[in-house]
């Protein structure tokens, strides 16, 4: 099972289920959290002085909670001493000059249902009939047409993260929400995602370097089968585990999360970057955070993977949204106009989803 889970469309490498004994490290964890909270509070205070943003948390029209992530600097990637790291995680300084809001939780089935009810949207997996990677009755992961966001092969409530959505499906959701609220929703850039996950830490995980507390912070791959250490064999409802210092849930594990950026292996450079947005060409898009079938090392803050933006649909993969702050007085660009300017992905969406997407993407 392990080697077939994610390999066919995976431009990087498949997941390997996690293993290892349970160890309680409550004291160590508490120390790390206290330090992180102190650091983050200081960053937030600084950010407020600079940006005069006075809201740390908002609820949007879907009832989705988003938390404010202040601007700041961090080291993206991982040190060579980090266990489980990959060579592509070349550490480099990154400065994010603008604050943004990020979903406290992964986008849920209930929220995606509202999108579909409003637009009759069909996901790529529904449209081409090929579905994606779901879970069969024996608990193994296989690719079949019957596995879609409505039927991943395991029971899901409205509070579960929506899964089996391609990058283009996630972008369509963002466009719909942007047009609905007259605001700019998008996927976080890879740098924004890692910065938000770290929440002021530079350790392998947001709670430290030891992967054992993952069962408190995350729903990850389980071994042996039938005895999940975190209580979930597959996706868990969002928000069932402890949040990080920014108040973000499930950044490690549960489902891989799409980022805005294209993915090219070994594309990191050691020089400092400001507001990076990734490579300018390539079909794969970045996924971060690991999922319910992932080994702990794949759930590290710096771990990254690339998957095809349309063809890859997995029941261990979803997304969360970012809300970008528009400059005061600036006219808002529609999602469709922005996509056209960025390279004509709207036409591509129309090709993939026909008239259905046409109803979603209103040309400016």
- Told to check if 228 binds Ca ion by CB under 5 A, we report yes
C-alpha 305/C-alpha 298 separation (Å) is 9
CA distances from 314 to 59, 136, 164 (A): 28, 13, 5
Q: Which stretch binds Ca ion (CB under 5 A): 119-127, 225-233, 260-268, 297-305?
A: 225-233
The H or E element that residue 346 is part of is helix 345-360
Task: Pick between residue 15 and residue 222 the one whose CB is nearest to Ca ion.
Answer: 222
Minimum distance, C-beta of residue 214 to Ca ion, in the bound complex (Å): 9
Contact with Ca ion (CB under 5 A): which of 6, 82, 184, 222?
222
Contact with Ca ion (CB under 5 A): which of 100, 147, 167, 232?
232
Q: Which stretch binds Ca ion (CB under 5 A): 128-136, 149-157, 230-238, 333-341?
A: 230-238
Minimum distance, C-beta of residue 228 to Ca ion, in the bound complex (Å): 4
Nearest to 251 by CA among 239, 263, 262: 239
Quote the strand ranges of the chain, DSSP E: 57-59, 65-69, 72-76, 92-96, 100-103, 132-135, 141-144, 184-186, 256-262, 273-274, 284-288, 304-308, 317-318, 322-324
Contact between 192 and 271 under an 8 Å Cβ cutoff? The reply is no
Task: Pick between residue 149 and residue 232 the one whose CB is nearest to Ca ion.
Answer: 232
DSSP 87-114: TT---EEEEE-S-EEEESSPPBHHHHHH
Nearest to 278 by CA among 187, 166, 347, 199: 187
Task: Pick between residue 188 and residue 228 the one whose CB is nearest to Ca ion.
Answer: 228
Q: Which stretch binds Ca ion (CB under 5 A): 58-66, 227-235, 275-283, 334-342?
A: 227-235
C-alpha 286/C-alpha 280 separation (Å) is 13
Using CB under 5 A as the criterion, what x/- string covers residues 244-283 for binding Ca ion?
A: ----------------------------------------
- Told to check if 308 binds Ca ion by CB under 5 A, we report no
- Told to check if 201 binds Ca ion by CB under 5 A, we report no
Q: Which stretch binds Ca ion (CB under 5 A): 8-16, 109-117, 173-181, 216-224?
A: 216-224
Q: Which residues contact Ca ion by CB under 5 A?
A: 219, 222, 228, 230, 232, 292
């Amino acid at each position: 099972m392990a080697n077939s889970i994610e390999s066919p469309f995976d431009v990087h490498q498949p997941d390997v289920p996690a293993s290892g004994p349970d160890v309680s490290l409550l004291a160590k964890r508490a120390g790390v959290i206290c330090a992180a909270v102190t650091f983050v509070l200081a960053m937030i205070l600084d950010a407020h002085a600079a940006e005069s943003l006075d809201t740390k948390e908002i609820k949007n029209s879907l009832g989705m909670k988003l938390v404010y992530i202040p601007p700041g600097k961090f080291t993206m990637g991982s040190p060579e001493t980090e266990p489980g790291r990959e060579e592509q995680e070349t550490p480099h300084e990154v400065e994010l000059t603008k604050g943004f809001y990020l979903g406290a939780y992964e986008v849920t089935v209930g929220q995606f249902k509202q999108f579909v009810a409003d637009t009759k949207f069909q996901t790529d997996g529904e449209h081409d009939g090929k579905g994606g990677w779901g879970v069969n009755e024996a608990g193994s992961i296989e690719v079949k047409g019957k596995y879609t966001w409505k039927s991943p092969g395991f029971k899901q409530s409205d509070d579960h993260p929506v899964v089996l959505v391609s990058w283009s499906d996630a972008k369509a959701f963002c466009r719909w929400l942007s047009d609905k609220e007259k605001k700019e929703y998008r996927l976080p850039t890879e740098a924004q995602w890692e910065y938000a996950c770290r929440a002021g830490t530079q350790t392998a995980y947001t709670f430290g370097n030891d992967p054992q507390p993952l069962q408190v912070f995350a729903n990850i791959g389980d071994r042996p089968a039938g005895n999940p250490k975190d209580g979930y064999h597959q996706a868990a409802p969002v928000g069932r585990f402890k949040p990080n210092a920014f108040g973000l849930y499930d950044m490690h594990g549960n489902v891989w999360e799409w980022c805005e950026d294209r993915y090219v292996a070994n594309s990191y450079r050691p020089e400092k970057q400001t507001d990076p947005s990734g490579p300018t060409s390539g079909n794969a898009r970045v996924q971060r955070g690991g999922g319910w079938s992932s080994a702990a090392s794949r759930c590290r803050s710096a771990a990254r993977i690339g998957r095809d933006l349309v063809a890859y649909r997995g029941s261990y993969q979803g997304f969360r949204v970012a809300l970008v702050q528009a400059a005061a007085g600036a006219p808002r660009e529609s999602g469709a106009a922005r996509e056209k300017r960025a390279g004509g992905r709207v036409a591509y969406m129309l090709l993939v989803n026909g008239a259905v997407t046409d109803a979603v993407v209103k040309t400016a």
